[in-house]
Structure 1
Amino acid sequence: MHTVWKGSISFGLVNIPIKLHTATENKDIKLRQLHKECHAPINYKKVCSGCEKEVQNEDIVKAYEYSKNKFVVLDEEELENLKKENEDKAVEIIDFVKLQEIDPIYFEKSYFMAPDTGGGKAYTLLKKALEESGKIGVAKIIIRSKEQLAVVRVYQDTLVMETIHFPDEVRSSKDVPNIPEDVTIVKKELDTALLLIDQLTTDFEPEKYTDDYRTALMELIEQKKTGKKTVSAAEKKQPTTAANVTELMAALQASVEKTKKKKPAAKKRTTPTKTKKNA
């Protein structure tokens, strides 16, 4: 598996050198656009909207549009310094929560976590601790110049890091148009719907769900290849121009003591706990 990120993650004073590997892959079939006349691939040029000249990468700068046609230009050195300041920090698990408390709308992308050199024991410790506690860790990480909120959890026999959206990235459901209000549902309709759900309820077996469109499209492509219904592009004209691991037991004990000092005494709850959402 290709490594997409390398660094370390910590909980308390325990530091684990890790590598991230993308856990999922997009299997969409990508279709190219060709010129109908000569079947050559279509290229796209970067053209300035002002002077209408074609521009090269070295002539492009990045900017933030704070109002219509008004920009703040940011140079590469500033962006690189900002990126480095954050990427140099180890990823720290800042909280432990229950997975059921996070609605699936927050989840974005999954990464397998693998221990780097010297991190095997600490990796296994974190995995077993999460399994025993039934909790997941909440952390922050910089991936591809973007700070991400993430959770660390156990998947099968591996640690997985899931990037999740920040709260302000999730749109309010109140902004969704045309949501019906005060619609009367008669009991018979509801009972029938519940019966249908009951009849269709089963154990989740991901292997039985397949992408029928992708399968049919690949079959069509193979048929055309076999039948020699293929085209070739016209000949192109030549242009003229490691982190060290702290001893585990000592780190764990120090972390527990540190948490005790910082955490105020728990108050007795007088109100019922928050109802968990169903995933």
Structure 2
Amino acid sequence: MGTSSPPRAVWTGAITFGLVVLPCRLYTATEEHAVRLREIHKADSGRIRHRRVCEIDGQEVPYEDVGRGFELADAGVVPLTERDLERLPLPTRHQVNVLGFVPADDINPIRFAKPYFVAPDGEAAQHAYTLLTTALAHAGAVAVSKVAIRTRERLAVLRSRHGTLVLHTLLWPDEIREPHGLVPATPVTEREMRLAIQLIGELAGVDTDELHDEYREALEQLVDAKIAGGQIEPPPKPQPVDDLLAVLEESVRSARRTRQGGPSH
């Protein structure tokens, strides 16, 4: 039986709150299981491959010879090495700087970007780690912080989850778009509002741990059909109905029947 390798830290540094310094490491907390389709040449289904080509000499460049540089306004480029970036005069490059604490509900969910598990770095850091994690849980608060990961400084929050400290990077305020003109104001009746709230109550409770991505299964059915020379009919698109009140009433009845174990229709 093979053994899985331990996760690799994506960031190493320390959390600072007040005068407390907590050495820590960050680990990616999520992984995507997306189905990736290959790019192919339509004429013969040959796979399309992308190559790194230098725009000056036209030569293909191996990965180990690819560096990074800062582009200037006059189109010039200043090469930057990893050693240069290590000297970046930015404290948050190796420090999660806690700026303060706010109630967890104060953070708009639309701002959440990427989560990381936080682990104490060394035995001496475990006491402070446990203290911060437990204190956040008891206070129902999150620690608003700044941290630089890879090539960007991010606003972030530290929160407690099941005894583990989690760091969520946040989008900056100017990265959030406003829905200008997308949602026109339309009045609703009291009856419609009561039915909508009733429908929410009838459909309350979803175990998201039992849900799964069905895209791969649908894609496999499509591929099998193409191999067999057949076709698959797509599911019908839902069509809006003009009589919203009648639809709400039927939705409540259908949800109630389903909850009681009867047929939905």
* C-alpha spacing 1:213/1:124, structure 2 compared with 1 (3 Å): same
2:212 partner amino acid: T
Alpha-carbon offset, residue 192 of structure 1: 2.0
Higher RCO structure, 1 or 2 (CA under 8 Å, sep 6+): 1
How far apart, in 2, do the equivalents of 1:133 and 1:142 lie? Answer: 26
Give yes or no for the alignment of 1:21 onto 2:55.
Answer: no
Matched with 1:76 is 80
Shift of 1:151: 0.5
- In structure 2, how many angstroms separate the alpha carbons of the residues matched to 1:151 and 1:79? 29
Query: Aligned letter for 1:148?
Result: R
In structure 2, the CA distance between the partners of 1:104 and 1:72, relative to structure 1 (3 Å rule), is: farther
Percent of aligned positions that are identical: 34
| 1:146 and 2:149 are equivalent in the alignment | no
Aligned counterparts, 1:63-212, within 5 A: 63-64=70-71, 71=75, 73-76=77-80, 80-81=84-85, 84-86=88-90, 89-118=94-123, 119-173=125-179, 176-181=180-185, 183-202=186-205, 204-212=206-214
1:214 aligns with 2:216: yes
TM-score with structure 1 setting the length: 0.66
Q: Deviations over 1:168-204 (max 9, x none)?
A: 111223xx334213x23222222222221121112x4
Secondary structure, counterpart of 1:122 in structure 2: helix
Q: Distance in 2 between matches of 1:2 and 1:220?
A: 37
Aligned amino acid, residue 196 of structure 1: L
- Following superposition, the deviation at residue 92 of structure 1 comes to 1.8
Contact 2:143 2:159 in 1 (8 A): yes
Q: How does 1:198-277 map to 2 (within 5 A)?
A: 198-202=201-205, 204-217=206-219
The equivalent residue for 1:235 is none
Q: Distance in 2 between matches of 1:199 and 1:52?
A: 66
Letter in 1 for 2:187: T
The answer to whether the Cα contact below 8 Å between 2:9 and 2:27 also exists between their aligned partners in 1 is yes
Match of 1:238 in 2: none
CA distance in 2 between counterparts of 1:125 and 1:153 reads 12
**In the TM superposition, what is the alpha-carbon distance from 1:214 to its structure 2 partner?**
2.6
Shift of the alpha carbon at 1:63? 4.9
Aligned to 1:11: 17
Preserved CA contact (<8 Å) 2:10 2:27 = yes
- The separation in 2 between residues aligned to 1:137 and 1:110, in whole angstroms, is 14
Q: What value does the CA root-mean-square deviation take over the aligned residues?
A: 3.2
CA contact (8 A) 1:10 1:16 kept: yes
CA contact (8 A) 1:61 1:73 kept: no
- In structure 2, what is the Cα distance between the partners aligned to 1:96 and 1:127? 13
Query: CA shift at 1:19, angstroms?
Result: 1.0
Q: Is the 2:117–2:164 Cα contact (8 Å) retained in structure 1?
A: yes
Structure 1 position 71, deviation (Å): 3.8
User: Which of 30, 40, 57 is matched with 2:36 structurally?
Assistant: 30
8 A contact 2:93–2:149 mirrored in 1: no
Contact kept, 8 Å, 1:111 with 1:160, in 2: the verdict is: yes
* Letter paired with 1:214: R
Give the secondary-structure state (helix, strand or coil) at the position aligned to 1:96.
Answer: strand
Q: How many residues align?
A: 216
Deviation digits for residues 151-179 of structure 1 (CA, Å, limit 9, x no counterpart): 00011121100001111111223xx3342
**2: distance between equivalents of 1:218 and 1:116?**
44
